[in-house]
Amino acid sequence: MTLLLAATDEAYPDGIDAERLGIYDFLAANPLLLAHADNDPDRVGLLLAGFDDRALSYASPTQRYVTGQESLPGDLARLVAYGLATCTVSGRIRYRLTDGGHDLAVQFGAMYARSYTVAARIVVGRLRRLSGRKLRDNLRKWLTVKAGGHHGRLDPADVIEPHPEATTPTRTAWRTGFPEDKHDRRRR
């Protein structure tokens, strides 16, 4: 969250509200939902930064978004409590980093921190001019995962199919294309 608040400083000098911050945080962690088209100008940079849209299949984006939203108030409260962020009320509660928060943000050196910062800058740059309503409408589209994916990519769901003998939940046998384990044969 500290890295994201640092990335929003220029676009939101008076601070950013929690709703927009939560959406930006989710999209910065999963930027290929936003830059999903093969011809998207930011896609190559995000791929080079280490993001991979095949990783999105581990859990649905909607579930991950909701989980992130549940932890957001606590995360923001901790930043304020530690003096890393301040909040002001001007129509909405807005958050921004303190000097101490900026000092901390520049100390992160992990590869993921660098990748996240690249993605956060892209997300903020692309979405800062959208109204709250338009941002929510677009979020609904980005959270919808479409079957099929990109050409030339292999989805595990395409190669794993139930074995014809698997008829009950207690006796599951999956055909995966891998050689059958000889020990498995004896248990049948």
* 182's tokens: 């000889």
pLDDT mean by block of 10 residues, the chain; 188 residues = 96 95 95 89 90 67 88 96 95 95 94 94 96 94 64 42 44 41 46
Predicted TM-score (pTM) of this structure: 0.74
Query: What's phi and psi for 95, nearest 5 deg?
Result: -120, 145
Nearest to 174 by CA among 183, 165, 187, 186: 165
Q: How confident is the model at residue 144, as a pLDDT?
A: 81
Q: Are 140 and 43 in contact (CB under 8 A)?
A: no
Other C-beta atoms closer than 10 Å to the C-beta of 50 total 13
Q: How confident is the model at residue 171, as a pLDDT?
A: 37
For 121-145, give one letter per residue: b (16+ CB within 10 A) or e: bbbbeebeeeeeeebeebbeebbee
Residue with tokens 């901390």: 104
Q: How confident is the model at residue 145, as a pLDDT?
A: 56
User: Pairing between strand 92-97 and 85-90?
Assistant: antiparallel
Which residue type does 141 have? Answer: K
Q: How far apart are CA 42 and CA 58, in angstroms?
A: 23
Q: Are 60 and 145 in contact (CB under 8 A)?
A: yes
Nearest to 120 by CA among 21, 19, 16: 21
Q: How confident is the model at residue 59, as a pLDDT?
A: 55
Q: How confident is the model at residue 178, as a pLDDT?
A: 41
Alpha helices in the chain (DSSP H): 2-8, 18-29, 43-48, 61-81, 99-105, 111-127, 132-142, 156-159, 182-187
Q: How far apart are CA 146 and CA 66, in angstroms?
A: 19
